[in-house]
Amino acid sequence: MLRLTKLAVRLSLATALVVSATSTIAADTIKIGWLSSLTGALSSAAIAENQGVQLAVDEINKSGGILGRQIELLTRDTAGDPTKAVNFAQQLAFSDKVHFVIGPVNSGEGLAAVPILARAGVPNLVIGAIDELIDPEKYPRAFRVINTNRQWISTANDYAIKVLKKSKVAVIADTSGYGTASAKTAIELLEKAGVKPVYTVLVDNNKTDLTDEMNKARAAGADVVMPWTAATGMLGRLLNARGEIGWNVPVVGHPAIMAAQIRQLLNKPEYWQNAYAAGYVSTTFGSNGKLPERTQQLVDKIRPKLGGGEIDILFWWVAMGYDTVKIIEHAIKTAGSTDAAALQKVLENTRDYKGVYATYTWTTTERNGFPDSNMAVNQANTFKDGSFKLAPR
């Protein structure tokens, strides 16, 4: 009974006092919320993903939108701050009443916003890597597009242990949400593979000198260094420290090791050698020196938008951004409506959906759509036009 009377009171009040100023343009646009940290720490990933998202939205709108309805992209800059992410998630879900939400980008913000969107029942494409963001029961409408942190770490671990045949691992992670979670997962997976890390440390990603940590790792007898941080600055300083103490140990870890910004941070170009990172088949040059066909198409389409010259950002971020919007298009087209429950059902039965970044599969019990087979290990200093060569087998 209470719910009914409250509704009645609200209706009368609402008609009497028109308060909410949210725009009520043609009700039939498809509203997509995009929680991107375009400023603040770790903004490089969001900026690249944003290129892909904008391109896909423009493309779809030019070709008449989805089911004849134009896409309205509501971009909110969370600036890497979880409080803003929560506030914007509330705004998108309840004020703007969006049909879909992409993001947030960083793990800390994801942990704060995903539960809010789940409670509001808004379908959410998760692009944060840490495992705690996905839970079929608690967050039924949250589907992950990006690979899981576990996939990054196990790919890198397999390469270090099976290919490079190393056994004394030093794990260096940053103190951010992502770093802390990754260090825990890395140690767990290494021990499962029978390797106990000889040195582990969490470092503030603004620390300007990692010589201490590298010296301690060497003293502990490490024969491979595995960094888990998305902060390109910290990775650059780690590679510099490795070079300056003259310790030619392989570095295998987070894809940010391959980021173009690293090149400007290095004191010497050769400090980028003997460094490998978890990467993707979709952004790896094949033995014939060519990119996979779908990736090449997107590269050509987006190049003019990125200034026409060589692409200097990690292209897999762009491809993922592009895929998120295409997945939404696929879901709405197949469901024939923007009803959340229908979208959920469609996504739960999506098998081998061919995106640029990867081929996605979700089921009622598995919300991580990225297949292990699409993972690869790249050589860091082979950065060209946003993609890489495969690391030596």
**Shortest Å distance, C-beta 220 to another protein:** 14
User: Backbone phi, then psi, for 88, in 5-degree steps?
Assistant: -70, -35
Tell me the window of 158-166, 190-198, 263-271, 287-295 that interacts with another protein (CB under 8 A): 263-271
Angle among Cα 168, 172, 173 to the nearest 5 degrees reads 145
Angstrom CA distances, 272 to 238, 242, 266, 315, 387, stand at 11, 10, 8, 19, 16
Amino acid code (one letter) for 380 = A
Closer residue to another protein (CB): 3 or 62: 3
**What is the total residue count of the chain?**
393
Site for another protein (CB under 8 A): which residue of 33, 103, 123, 233?
A: 233
Site for another protein (CB under 8 A): which residue of 204, 270, 310, 339?
A: 204
Site for another protein in 318-377 (CB under 8 A): none
Tell me the window of 83-91, 156-164, 292-300, 367-375 that interacts with another protein (CB under 8 A): 83-91
Applying CB under 8 A, does 274 fall inside the site for another protein?
A: no
Joined together, the tokens standing for residue 272 give 């980028």
Closer residue to another protein (CB): 10 or 354: 10
Residues 6+ apart with CB under 8 A from 3: none
Site for another protein (CB under 8 A): which residue of 196, 268, 354, 384?
A: 268
Using DSSP's 3-state secondary structure scheme, residue 377 falls into strand
Applying CB under 8 A, does 77 fall inside the site for another protein?
A: yes
**Shortest Å distance, C-beta 333 to another protein:** 29
What are the start-end ranges of the E strands in the chain?
A: 30-36, 71-77, 100-102, 124-126, 142-144, 169-174, 199-203, 224-228, 251-253, 275-280, 284-285, 353-354, 359-360, 375-379, 388-389
**Shortest Å distance, C-beta 308 to another protein:** 22
**Contact by Cβ (8 Å): 161, 193:** yes
Applying CB under 8 A, does 94 fall inside the site for another protein?
A: yes
**What is the rounded distance in angstroms from the CA atom of residue 254 to the CA atom of residue 172?**
11
Closer residue to another protein (CB): 109 or 329: 109
**Shortest Å distance, C-beta 15 to another protein:** 12
Site for another protein in 100-159 (CB under 8 A): 107-108, 111-112, 115-116, 130, 132
CA 70 to chain centre: 26
Q: What is the total count of residues that contact another protein (CB under 8 A)? A: 66
Applying CB under 8 A, does 175 fall inside the site for another protein?
A: yes
Site for another protein (CB under 8 A): which residue of 35, 265, 275, 291?
A: 265
**Contact by Cβ (8 Å): 253, 278:** yes
Cis peptide before 250 (omega within 30 of 0): no
Binding site for another protein (CB under 8 A): 6, 9-10, 13, 17, 19-22, 39-41, 43, 76-77, 79-84, 86-87, 90-91, 93-95, 107-108, 111-112, 115-116, 130, 132, 174-181, 201-204, 206-209, 211-212, 231-233, 236, 240, 243-244, 246, 264-265, 267-268
